[in-house]
Copies of this chain bind each other. A is one copy, B any other.
Amino acid sequence: MSSPQADPYARAAAKFALSCKLASIEALIDWDAQTNMPKGGAWARGEQRGALAEVTSDLTGTPEIGALLDEAQGYADKLDEAERANLAEMRRLYAHRAAVPKELVVERARVSQQLQADWLEAKAKADFSLFAPGFKKLMAIHKEVAAAKGAALGLAPYDAMMDEQDPGLTCAIIDPIFEDLAADLPGLLAAVRERQAGWPAVIEFSGDFSVAKQKVLSERLAHIVGHSPETSRIDVAPHPFSMPHSPGDVRFTTRYSEDKFRYGVMATLHEAGHSMYELNLPRTHAFSPVGFARGASAHESQSLMLEMMAGRSKEFLRFLAPVLHEHLGGDAACWSATNVLNFVRRLDDDYIRVNADELSYPLHVILRYRLEKALLAGDLSVDDIPGAWNEMFGKLFGRVPPDHAKGCLQDIHWAAALFGYFPNYALGESLAAQLFERACADDPAILPALGRGDFKPYFAWVKPRIHDQASLKSFDEIVIGATGTKLSADALKRHLKRRYLDEALD
C-alpha cells in the first residue's frame, strides 16, 4: 500500500465514513420530523430520505465497493484490530446494501415517510383502515427485501431483516429465550398479582403535573443521570426516542401525560440511557461503522438498565421520591418512598408496550415478534392484523384492547419501516438484567450510590464494558466479556422473582 489512494481498505473506509455521516444526517432529519416539522413538509422529507438512501447505496452498495472490500480482506492480517473490526462491519453493511436494488430502498423510504403521516392520523382516530393500505405497500417491499437479503447472506428472511440492526441475532437464538420467558412469565405475573393484592392501596398523588413542571423534572433527571445541555436536549415526541450517530449531540425526546406523570419519568430515564451510550462511544472511531453502538439489543439494554433495573431499584426510588415531591409539590404523604415504590412496582392493566411493567414487557414484544414472523411468511395478511393482535393479546394478558390505538396502532415502528426490530426490546431487557446483576456483584457501591442519585459508579462499570467497545467486538464477545456468559433469560427471571416476589415495600 503505497498511498491512501491505492489502499483498498482506506478507499472503502472513506466511502463508509461518508455514509456514516449521511446516517447521522438521516437521524437528525428524522428527529426533526418527529419534533418540529410542519405537516406540509412530509412529502419533501420523504424525498430527502430517499435521496440519502440512494446516495448511501451508491457509496457503499456497488460492485466496486464489494471488490475493494474483497481486496482489503486479502491483507486483513496487516490491518490493526480496530481496522479489522471496521472491515468486518463494512462487509456486513455492504452485503445488506448490495443485496437490495437501490430503487427498492428509495421506494421504501418514500412509502415509509407517507405511512408515518398515515399512522399519526390512524392512531389519532383509532382507525386501522387508514394505516392498512400504506402498510400493505410497505410489507410487499419488506418481503422483497427480506428474500433478497436472505439469499445474499445465507439467512432465513426474518433473520436477514434482524441482522441489519442486530448483527448475528437469529430466530434460533431468540426462540429459546422467548419460549423460556413466555413459559415463565404468565405464572410469575399471577403470583405477583396475588402478592400485590395484599399491599395497601396506593395513596393518590397530588401536585402540579403540568407539562411545564414535568419538563423541568425531566431536565433534572437527565442531569442526575449524567447529561448536560452542552451535549443534549429534551424535546417532546409522540413516540420517544434518542437520536443516534451524532457525536457530541445526544439529544432525545420524551412525552408528558398530565394524568400519568410516571410516563414522562420513565420515558426520560429510558431515552437518557440510550443517549448515555451514544455520548460515551469512542470519539476516535466516530463516523466509522466500527464506532457505532453494537446493535439494537445492546442499545436497548442500556435504556432498560436505566429505566427498569436502576430506575426501579428500591435504592433509586428512595432517592427519587423527595425529588418528585420537590418538583411536583402536593401532599408529603403520597411522596413517601413506600408509596412511590408501591406505585412504580405495581402491575397495571395497561395495553401499551412502552407503559408496561417489567414483567409484562417481554410478553408485549413476543406478541409483535410472532405477528411479524407470520406477516413476513405470508401466514397473516395486513387486514387481519387487528383481529390477530387482539386474539393473541387476550391469550397472553387475559384482556383485549378497547380500540386499535391502544392495540396494533400503538407503535410507530411498522410505519417507520422498522421490521424485525421488536425482538431487541425483550433481548435488551434480558441483557439489562444480566449486566445489572453482574455490575452490582462486581461493585457493591453501585446500589448505595443510586440511593444518593449518584450514577458515577454505575457508569464506571458500564462504560468500559459496553460503551467503549462500540462495534469493536461482536455482541457475544461483549456480553461474555462483561458477564462471563452468553445472553440468556436466566438473569431476568432471577431479577423479576427477587424484585417482585421477595422485596418488601419498605
Contacts and interface: CB of A to CB of B under 8 A. Distances in A.
B246 A39 contact: no
B38 A251 contact: yes
A21 B47 contact: yes
A232 interface: yes
A22 interface: yes
A53 to B, nearest CB: 11
A55 B50 CA distance: 15
B38 A25 contact: no
Nearest to A47: B21
A44 B246 contact: yes
A474 to B, nearest CB: 27
A449 interface: no
A34 interface: no
Contacts of A210: none
A426 to B, nearest CB: 32
Interface residues of A, dominant DSSP: helix
Interface string A246-276: 1111010000000000000000000000000
In the complex, which range does the number of interface residues on chain A fall in? Answer: 35 or more
A248 B18 contact: no
B21 A51 contact: yes
Contact of A38 (B22, B42, B229): B229
A45 B18 CA distance: 13
B249 A40 contact: yes
A38 B460 CA distance: 25
Contacts of A48: 21, 24-25, 28
A93 to B, nearest CB: 16
A382 B48 CA distance: 38
Contact of A246 (B22, B41, B55, B249): B41
5 contacts: A22-B51, A25-B48, A25-B51, A44-B246, A47-B287
Interface of A: 18, 21-22, 24-25, 28-29, 32, 36-45, 47-48, 50-52, 54-55, 59, 229-233, 246-249, 251, 286-287
Given A25-B52, A38-B249, 18 more contacts: A18-B54, A21-B50, A24-B44, A24-B48, A28-B29, A28-B48, A36-B233, A36-B251, A38-B231, A39-B231, A40-B230, A40-B249, A41-B231, A43-B248, A44-B246, A45-B249, A47-B286, A47-B287
